[in-house]
Each structure stands twice: as C-alpha cells, then as structure tokens.
Chains A and B, each alone.
Chain A
C-alpha cells in the first residue's frame, strides 16, 4: 500500500459528515458572489448589449444614446481594452467582437448606478449589423465542412479485416443533444480596484487561476496585479470552468475605468443565451460482432457541436474518443473526431467532459443491436466487459476490471433483478397500454485531466501558535463537498479533531497556478497537496515530540489532538502544547504543499498513452414505466453500486452519485435545448432560454425508490487515503434510464424489436419509439395505436441513416440465422 493511500487508525476521513457549510446553507447565511454586492458600497451594475443575429458584422456602434439614460455611467466597448481583446485561452474569443458569432453575443456592456439603469442603457445603445450567412445545426456544419481545431484519430488493430470476417455488422447514425448546466447561481463577478491599482475580482469560477490570467491579459497587466477569490459557487458542473473569465474581465475593466466596484451578474436568460453548454454530438458508426455477440470492431466518426469558438472543445472531444469503449473490450477500433463550428454559444465543459458523449454512442449501439443479435441487452453488455490484462484503444491497461463485474453482480443481487424481470414480464403481458422495463448499464470513467500538465495542485496550511489550523487549497467549492473532504484530509493528516481545522476561501494569492476544479480531480489533487503540507508540518513536529517523549521520531503518533509514542503508553502531549513548544524552538509551523499525479503520459497527436491515474466504475439498474398513449414515463426504481475507492466522506459521495445520476437522467430524458433552425430573422436564437421552457428534473423525476451503495473492498492504491474521484462518473449511470425506456418502448412491439430512441428521450420521443415498435408488429391489435404522420421537426425523431451509410440491418453474408432478423 502506498504512503499516499494508507489510512491511520481512527481517521477523520471516512466519517459521514454533512457539508461543511450546511448550517450556513440552510439558514441563508452562506454568501455567494452576488450577496457581496449588498455589502459593497457604491457598486455599479453591468448589463450586456446582446446581438439579435446568429452571424453578423458590426458596422456601427453608437453609445451616446445610452449615456443619455439617467443613471448610466459608462458604456464599455473594444476601445476600453488596454490589453488583449480576448476572453479565452485560444485567442479566438474576442471579448468585444466586431463580428457577431451567435444570437445573443454581447457586443458592448453598459454600467449603471442600478441594474435598471444599465438595462435601459443597454437597450438604448445603437448597433448596426450586416447579417451574414449562419450555420446553426451540426448537420449544416458537416455539409459545409465547417470545422475548427484538431481532428483526432484513434485506432487500434485491423478494423477492415475484422469487419470483413464478422458474423454481424450493423451501421447507423445518432445525433444527440447537449445540455445546459443550469447551476442555480448564474455567472457572477464583482471587481474592485485597491489603492495600488491592484484588481480584486470575486468570481463564481471553478478556475480562479485562469480567471486571473485572462483578467490580466485583457487588462494588459502581469498576473501579480490581479487576485481572484471564489467563496463558493451555487453549482458549477463544468459551466464555470472557462465561461467566467470574460465576465470577470468586463467587471475588472469597468472597475479600473470608473474606480468603483463593478458587479456583473447574468440573468437566467442571459446565462442561457451567452454561456456554453454540453456539446451535442453527431455520430456515424459501424460495428461488428461475432456469433456470440462479442464486439469485434467499431468504426465511428464523432462530430462535436463546438459552437462559435474552440473553448474546451478539443479536450472534450479527446475524452469522448477515449470513452467510446466504456466498459467494453473492443479489439479493433477506429474513431475519428472533429469539431463543428456553428453559430451558437461556445460549448464547454460539463460534468463528464465528453466522456458521456463517447459512452452514449456505444451504449446506443448496444441497445439497438441487442435485439438484432437475439440477445438480452444485459447479456450483450456483460459478455463484452473488459477482463484482466486488456488495454483501452489508446493503450492504457485497464486496472481492476473485475470491479465492473463485481458492481454488476452486486446490483443484480441487491436489486433482485431476476425476480423483478419476471414481474415486469408478467406486468407487460397483462397491460397492453403501459409497459415496464429494467435497464442495466455499466460505467468506466478515466480519472485525471487528459492534459497531463493540469494534474498538479497546491495547498497552504497554517498552524497557529494556539494549535488551530487554517487550510487553503487550490480547489473551489461548488457544492460537491470538496472543502468538507479537505478538512477531513487535514484533520486526518495532522491527527487532530475536525474542529481544530478551518478552511479559508479559495484565492489566487494564497495558492497560485492552480488547475480548474474539474475532471472529478478536486479531492485527488488538492487532497494530495493538503496532505503533503500537513505532513511537512508533522515531520517537523515529530522531531520536537521525539525529543520530549524520548523516542525515535518514527515512533511518534498524532491522533485525535494528542501526540504520543507508538503503542499509546507514556506521555500524552496535547497537540496545542506541542505546537506551542515548537514555536519557541523556532520551528516553522506552516507549509506549502504540492502534489503531482504520478505515472501519467499522453501523446495527443497519436492518441496513445496512459492519461488516467485509474478508472472509476459503477453500475446502475433502472426500472421505468411507459404510458403507451402519451410516451410519458415514470422512474420506478433505481439501484446503483458505485466505486469510490475507500470513501473520504460517504455522505458527500452518496450525494454526488445520486445528484449525478439525476442530472444525467435530465440530459438523456428531459432537458431539451432547442435553437431556432428556421430561416426567419430569429434564426439561431435559443428557443428554450428560460426556466419555463428549459426543464430540469424536479421532484417528479426523482426515482420512486432510489438505492445507492458504495462498492466494497475498493481501496485505490496510490490515491489520497485510498479514495477515488466521484464528481463525474455517476452522471453516466443514467444510461440505464435511457436503455430502460428503449426496452419499454420495444415491449409495445413484437419480441426482438430494435428501437431507435432520440436523445433527449422526452415523452414525445418515447412516444415515437413506441409507435415504431408497434409498427414493427404485424397489424396493430393494440387499442392505443393510432396512425400518425411523421413529425415535421427533425430534431424530434431519430435520424435515419444517410443514403450512403449502411443500414441498421445485418449485412454480412454469413449473418443469416444467429439471431438476425429476416
């Protein structure tokens, strides 16, 4: 067992603790960035001027009318940028554009004494636009070959030979939607300038260091003149990894120009129309199976809808390619990726970061092909799991593949799947108008940033003379419980009670050069750094204690606020007393900790290497009931077994699993981003740009029975206290909902019906799937069946394969029989 993963006796990690801010949350005392405005004197408010075109050139911009509006103080335009007019790291995102790239793009910002004044001022700014042709859908981008950034290629084995010799070959297409983060707290920044011209930005950001860098480069000052602080976020989910930077820069520009604090908070509709989302994807694929339903080859092209600029689309796409295998051994693989440039918001990180999109492709393939292979979908999945000694298509050995099977078998047992499948079959036989099904799917998710350099973290731990401890680290708190875990790690590493440790807000002047709190890596990286800092301190204290106790330093133990010799006999020195003594011996009582994830290597040009420290595993089984009259459905029961290693904080981890699952179910079933794809003037406008039209899961979508447990015997060697990351992987457990819906829809048709299901699988999409299944039957004895015309909206129905793609049919000459449908 590694030193990093070894736990002392009676550790604080592993205890069930509520969120460290829970008492502040429930009383409304917890402060978020916008709450600070009310404690800041003389604040100005910023409001954007948003363009009403999907693509246009700005040919004129007159700010004078806005300045006539009472209370308007200043209008910010490109001429106010003293550094680089760029909000991103790729230098393709002008902060003040002269070419509008999406409907709602902000071309100027108005500062007002009140938000009302700024709003009216923004309405008064006169902008002349010359509309330009626009590309709104990913299909339009493919047709126009409108791509941006890298086009990665991942290949292993001999794909063509594998196809030639395969018993079953299928092909298809699948286009699926993205997702809005809909953190309850919209983007917010509050910028102040101090007496030295130093800029202090409080920002709701997952990536304070990058917010700092971009504010600095927009202002044209070195990074040491900018400090960014994040108290906490009201949700992030990846949406605050890149998107806060430009908004913070606007506030900073305003604060520098006016000398007054500037607050910028987006309304919900501004946030929806201006900030990036999860990438929707288009995929085209061919797959080969042998006679036993074992995957032989996969050939796929994934096209991510990147929106107007690159943002994080390249690493998102790379992760999608690296997860198209999910938990399955595919000996021969060829995947091509590309990023469509469309006139939409610039799509960005979202919990899973491309992993969900890659995995959705293979889960959709398996869900569609299982009936054609004459196999139960659960059987098809299970027989293709990785086994020991196998590697991913990008060459990384799959460690602990037995945990996939262990989690699967645990779900089958605890979820009583055998009995319930019989119940479902009985129910379906008795109910012509409603059908039930149980879907079960696995998750294998790689942990670490694909870009190796990001896998580092820092921490700053102070022990004060009275023994109290203050920790800082580079991670941000967005509700995921990172701070709770870091307090537990520090208390464990120092051997003190939790109450001895406090945590101070994340600031770039405390811990520099941090990575985004993203990729589920927050606890792994910052935990490693906090532990390292704590151990520097205990190593120094150990020497002091050894002298006092008369033992070798290696035999000193720190436990629950007491320092003693190994074995627990002899003098028990209170922690505070030892600290006090160390101070008078002039021993340094604080330390900067650092952590780098060992063993990673990645060649992005060849898409080969070992980019991940380990894989997180999980399995979910979901039972749904579908109403054949409407396509409406309920989630009756969910059983999950998920692998978090040895949990640092079980209550937090369970919360992440449940919340991730429901958020994933929202993406796959409910949340419906619709852009205006017409040729009207409103082309490119987001049609679902408010909470009233973009629907998140609410109480009614919560599984009626929801059983979550952590995989046992899951110690992860080489990770802080044997734990595993938990933020993203559970989101993909929600594939079980989608597959259950597919199976329930298929149950309206004859046995062996393969059903295409659009994503999101809204009640309407499920209804069309039910209709497809019914149509597959001979005649329509079912009362509920009605003849329906194909809907006009192409986003609703599963796309049919293009003419030049091979159809969803067994096509090998050898394929007759073996479960293939005639």
Chain B
C-alpha cells in the first residue's frame, strides 16, 4: 500500500509551462482519475511520477521515499506505467511482452519464478491462450489487457494508466476498467488513470482530479467534481449531469464559445 504526495511540482518545455505548482495527496489503495482538456498536463503528470520526465521543481513522494532520490530501477519496483499504446520495431510475443514487467525484479536473466508469475497473471486474466501470439497482431483491447498484465507482473504498489480506453469499443472499455477496478480491491494497488471519457472516470474512480493549463481546478469525489459548472469552466461545454446510484453521468449538449 503506497500513499503518494505531490508537492508544488512544475514542469515545462522551454517557454511553455505544462504543470504549474501542482500539489495533491493520493490515498493508498485508491483509484484516482485525472481529467482535463488536451494539453492540460495530465500525461505529463503521470510521466513525472515515473521518472520518464523530471519535474523542474517540487517533490513527489512514493510512501516515505522522495522520487528524486530514487534510482530508476527502484522507481520501477514501486510504480508501473501502462502507456496508451506500445508500438514496436521488431515483433514480440505476448509472453515476452508481459515478462518485461519482471525486469525491475530480476538479474540479467529471468528465473523460473519470474516465468511462473507471468503464467499466473495470464491465467488470472484469461489471456494465457494468447501467450505465443505476436503482440502487434492483436486487437487494441487485447493489447491494452496485455499491457495491464505487464504492469501486474511488475508487482508494484502504484499503477499509472495513460488513456487505457481511448481506442477501445464499449465492451473492451468496460472489460479493461473492471480488470483495473479489481486490482484496487484485490491487490490494494493505488491507481492513477488519465482518461478523456468522463463517464468512465465517474463510474470507476474513488476520486477525480480535474486539470486545466497545468493547475488543479477541482479534486474530490466524482459527484463533487463532475458538475456542469466545472465542465463549462474546464472544457467550455454545456452539459447535463445526471445522478444514478450516486454516480454522476454526463451528457454533453453543446460548445460554449471558442475551444479552451
């Protein structure tokens, strides 16, 4: 169980500031969705949490450890990252792709134990029949599940997901999201997910972080963040928000003026 503390982080490319003094505490074993318009800094925030990018200032704490003082391999043992897609130059099998998740825990070669962990996860997720398939020849939904499987064998307390449902049909969206939700409950993993689908964020998240221009506009439970006012302010759209079983569902109506 890992609690995350983000304090005053800033990040920018030359003159453009992407993250602007962003601070938030994230509870352990919770599911946080990060929403906001394109360019709000959502993916950048995830990448800063995994040393793919290094913030210009500010600190991120994974549990008691300051990310700046951790080695890359140590970060990978604590924090797994599921990219939006994973294009490769040379073909790899599903088994080899998932086995990559064991890299932070192994020496120069994988052990039988590492392979057994891969089989366990593939069997748990019901995708062991794909083990010898070429990753690139699978559908978007299957690829996404395999990348989630890779994060699972990485055996970390934190999983970062970057738009895991963006290319998927509704059935596969729910399939991937149910797998992720089970993770939080069964394995007590802290999940941070960048997502554009506001209804997916509302349905599955314990908390939602709404960003605009690198700053936090709202943070809290879905019902308090997903309001028509916040959506108008952040996305520049008029919407209706319906409540069903205390979960807000959003129906977008029209644009309000120019794009934010």
Q: Do A and B come from one complex?
A: no
